Structure 1
Amino acid sequence: MNTPITVVGGGLAGLTAAIAAAETGAPVVLYEAHRTLGGRGRATPVPHVAHEGPHVFYADGPHYRWLKKRGFVAGLGFPSIGAAVKIGFRADDRIRKAPPSGMLRAQSRKWLQAPVDVDFHSWAADRWGDRTAAQIANAISVVTYDADTGRLSAAFVWDLFQRVLGPAVPAVRWVRGGWQQTIDRMAARACALGVAIETGSRLDTLPTGGPVIVATDLDSARRLLADDTLCGTSGFTALLDLGVTKDRRDRNLVFDLDAGGFHESYTMQDHTIAPTGESLFQLQMPVRDNESRDDAHRRLAAFADAVVPEWRSRTTFHRTATAKGRTGALDLPGTTWRDRHAIDRGDGVYLAGDMVAAPGMRGEISINSALTAAAAAVAAAGTGARRRVGTV
């Protein structure tokens, strides 16, 4: 195979597509607009390694098998045996050790099938009441970054809720060193396969002369492909990263059932991402309609007061940010992932990323869509590849 495959974008989707295509023997060129690879998988440099929002892997899908087979998620971190893992749920403005009884009843109903064409709040309120419906929606805002998760498709929200907070043991995995470790391993694998990587190369026109995989965010893809239909629904949240001196009063994990906030300690399972004697936390708070960023950050700081006592006097690392359009597609009533933007755009152009027609949540959509795009691009380039794109 002599026809090159071009990948535009060097984030999780772009690296996956480049590796998958190169593994068949296809020549691959990857263009990344920034000077470093990684996209939303990038992290701040040591000693405090923080990401743009919660970054974990779930080990219950084909995306994870693909990563694991190639060693990209080796070296997992877990809370140490015997460590005090303090999990909490904020309800009615107080922190409690367990979810309210109504939410517990809902969690146990894993066999229920929620409808696609009804909003989640209406469907859940009919079964457990308005208060429990709102609490479930707020609990899963950690995934959606949306202050009104209840407006989304009932099937979409219910599936996420059962996957993250259902009765089954969560399949969550943390890679020591964070996602940056995974990104670095993927970049090394791409180079070893002969992928030509051009960083600091922003493309304004679509390359010609072979299949092209556009693995950028949807806004960039819309401009590059001159396709105004490439729009999607995604979340908007305020973020707060805190490095603080350790304190036994701190909580490790808190779901805010009142307002959709979320708090997590990343040093609980990976002490390498902060200096000795420190804890690294990330908190988020969905931004409400017509709410300013400053007001959202004030609500987030008040949440931090409840879960990281006296954090202002203990802070060694502090970063605030907002993340908009960073959650992958959020499915509105009447839609599923199959209704999102098609991967095959025609004329040898393929779309990969977290807002296209592939299953999963957030980064999983990127990986699954990239594997599909790579297989199609290899097939379009010719039949001379040594083997097919591997899915696992």
Structure 2
Amino acid sequence: MHRITVIGGGFAGLTAAITAAEAGAKVTVYEAHHTLGGRARTAEGPYRTNEGPHALYSGGPHWTWLKQRNLIGPLAPVPPLEAARLRLRHRGVLRRTPPFAMLKLLRRSAQRAPVDADFMTWASGVAGEEGARAAAHYAAVALFHHDPGALSAAFVQERLRRAMRVPPEAHYPRGGWGSVIDRMAARAWNLGVRMETLARVDTLPTDTPVVVATSLAAARRLLGDASLVWPSGRTVLVDLAVRTRRGDAFVVSDLDAPGWIERFTAQDPSLAPAGEQVIQGQIPVGPEESKADGVARAEELLDLGFAGWRERVAWRREAVADGRTGAVDPPGSSWRDRPAVDRGDGVYLAGDQVAAPGVLSEVSFTSALTAVSLALGRRELDLKRA
């Protein structure tokens, strides 16, 4: 029987563990935190928040894989009345519809964006500078980067189309992303996976193949490999609970600068006590910007979409996520140029900053399946089967 060690018990690590165990391997998962989930954890307590605004996109292979195993669970649909409360800040005021020029970039007939040009330059030629800038900023919801227009045009275009697809790809597991993690952990346990929490690994085992399913920074330290670097985003996370008031927006998307505020109890009231609403926002900030700068921009969006929110606050939390928002591809690069999954000597990487295709959590999923396929020498575990 094959034996595999998985370091990291987040979405990538649990995907790798389940896949390996289903193939007959004996799997041990080591997680440094006291709970599983990584960035897919949902906070316990009266306010069940994810680490920043989270949604599960249904257009990738991970959706089918999770659904086949009944791991998605109940979903919290957005009521039509709430969906109609999506607002866009453009030129300093809230609007219901995006600028017409921005829509040119979403037409089915729109040309495929090039890899080697930046999005702003390419999109300006299609939709003009204003439409290009608005589109770039809207795409930040799937990028978490302070300057999406400076990234590869092909990279941004894919995420923009996925974020604005009709019907929407974004779905919300009831109870937060943590409910998916709980089902994945139960699946792994039932398959015989040994899971150890509060178990930080400082030295790689040499008797089994190892899937390192951690952040790229943690993998770099563990493997002592200075080449494990790739650009990511830096974003300010603002979470708060406010007393319910009619007329609050569902989403406020900033088209003047990258930023996103979402009221998650619009679709899932179980995330907060009765009479209260949970709002989560992410504001990408540049290297020269501070946490206070991001918080100030978040408050501008709150002022526009949630009248009187300051007097209604019941709970608030702020944080900075630096290099924890997934890979972003500069012009001239694609996912194939990121750190390879196979590191040699039986060591494999999985996570959202390695060489695997997809959007957001799909990269973690795809890299985890690839890592297990290589570790077991079982090509039938590839993505075609998933």
TM range (shorter): over 0.9
Q: Measure the CA separation in 2 of the matches of 1:120 and 1:29.
A: 43
Q: What residue in structure 2 maps to residue 210 of structure 1?
A: 208
Within the candidate set 193, 196, 203, 2:194 is matched to 196
Cα offset for 1:6? 0.3
Q: What residue in structure 2 maps to residue 311 of structure 1?
A: 309
> Amino acid of the residue matched to residue 139 of structure 2?
I
Q: Measure the CA separation in 2 of the matches of 1:89 and 1:135.
A: 10
Q: What residue in structure 2 maps to residue 242 of structure 1?
A: 240
Question: Does 1:257 find its partner at 2:251?
Answer: no
Question: Does 1:129 find its partner at 2:128?
Answer: yes
Cα offset for 1:84? 6.6
Cα offset for 1:316? 1.5
Aligned-partner SS, 1:320 = strand
Report matched runs for 1:76-91 at 5 Å.
76-80=75-79, 85-91=84-90
Cα offset for 1:104? 2.2
Report matched runs for 1:100-111 at 5 Å.
100-109=99-108, 111=110
Q: What residue in structure 1 maps to residue 265 of structure 2?
A: 267
Mean Cα displacement is larger for which, 285-294 or 33-42? Answer: 285-294
Cα offset for 1:81? 5.3
Cα offset for 1:187? 0.8
Task: Please give the per-residue CA displacement for 1:94-144, whole angstroms capped at 9, x wherever unaligned.
Answer: 001100121123222554200000000010112222222111111111111
Q: Measure the CA separation in 1 of the matches of 2:37 and 2:28.
A: 16
Question: Does 1:65 find its partner at 2:64?
Answer: yes
Q: Measure the CA separation in 2 of the matches of 1:60 and 1:126.
A: 28
Q: What residue in structure 1 maps to residue 118 of structure 2?
A: 119
Q: What residue in structure 2 maps to residue 222 of structure 1?
A: 220
Asked if the contact 2:104–2:110 (Cα under 8 Å) also holds between the matched residues in 1, the reply is no
> Amino acid of the residue matched to residue 99 of structure 2?
P
Asked if the contact 1:328–1:361 (Cα under 8 Å) also holds between the matched residues in 2, the reply is no
Question: Does 1:285 find its partner at 2:278?
Answer: no
Q: What residue in structure 2 maps to residue 154 of structure 1?
A: 153
Asked if the contact 2:29–2:195 (Cα under 8 Å) also holds between the matched residues in 1, the reply is yes
Q: Measure the CA separation in 2 of the matches of 1:134 and 1:232.
A: 24
Aligned-partner SS, 1:317 = strand
Q: Measure the CA separation in 2 of the matches of 1:162 and 1:378.
A: 35
- Which consecutive unaligned segments of at least 5 residues does structure 2 have? none
RMSD between aligned alpha carbons?
Answer: 1.7
Q: What residue in structure 1 maps to residue 41 of structure 2?
A: 42
Aligned-partner SS, 2:240 = strand
Q: What residue in structure 1 maps to residue 336 of structure 2?
A: 338
> Amino acid of the residue matched to residue 176 of structure 2?
G
Q: What residue in structure 2 maps to residue 54 of structure 1?
A: 53
Asked if the contact 1:283–1:304 (Cα under 8 Å) also holds between the matched residues in 2, the reply is no
Cα offset for 1:358? 0.9
Asked if the contact 2:261–2:298 (Cα under 8 Å) also holds between the matched residues in 1, the reply is no
> Amino acid of the residue matched to residue 203 of structure 2?
T
Aligned-partner SS, 1:350 = strand
Mean Cα displacement is larger for which, 87-96 or 371-380? Answer: 371-380
Task: Please give the per-residue CA displacement for 1:239-265, whole angstroms capped at 9, x wherever unaligned.
Answer: 111211111121001210001111111
Task: Please give the per-residue CA displacement for 1:36-92, whole angstroms capped at 9, x wherever unaligned.
Answer: 110001111132111111211111121111111111112011023555730111000
Cα distance change, pair 250–83 in 1 and its aligned pair in 2 (3 A): closer
> Amino acid of the residue matched to residue 320 of structure 1?
E
Q: What residue in structure 1 maps to residue 352 of structure 2?
A: 354
- Which consecutive unaligned segments of at least 5 residues does structure 1 have? none
> Amino acid of the residue matched to residue 375 of structure 1?
S
Mean Cα displacement is larger for which, 131-140 or 100-109? Answer: 100-109
> Amino acid of the residue matched to residue 377 of structure 1?
A
Cα offset for 1:379? 2.2
Asked if the contact 1:116–1:156 (Cα under 8 Å) also holds between the matched residues in 2, the reply is yes
Asked if the contact 1:143–1:327 (Cα under 8 Å) also holds between the matched residues in 2, the reply is no
Q: Measure the CA separation in 2 of the matches of 1:25 and 1:328.
A: 31
TM-score, normalising length from structure 1?
Answer: 0.94
Aligned-partner SS, 2:282 = strand
Q: Measure the CA separation in 2 of the matches of 1:288 and 1:303.
A: 18
> Amino acid of the residue matched to residue 75 of structure 1?
P
Mean Cα displacement is larger for which, 151-160 or 97-106? Answer: 97-106
> Amino acid of the residue matched to residue 48 of structure 1?
Y
Aligned-partner SS, 2:257 = coil
Cα offset for 1:389? 7.2
Aligned-partner SS, 1:7 = strand
Q: Measure the CA separation in 2 of the matches of 1:139 and 1:81.
A: 21
> Amino acid of the residue matched to residue 164 of structure 2?
L
Cα distance change, pair 306–81 in 1 and its aligned pair in 2 (3 A): closer
Mean Cα displacement is larger for which, 157-166 or 229-238? Answer: 157-166
> Amino acid of the residue matched to residue 239 of structure 2?
D
> Amino acid of the residue matched to residue 12 of structure 1?
F
> Amino acid of the residue matched to residue 101 of structure 2?
G
Q: What residue in structure 2 maps to residue 163 of structure 1?
A: 162
Cα offset for 1:388? 5.2
> Amino acid of the residue matched to residue 242 of structure 2?
V
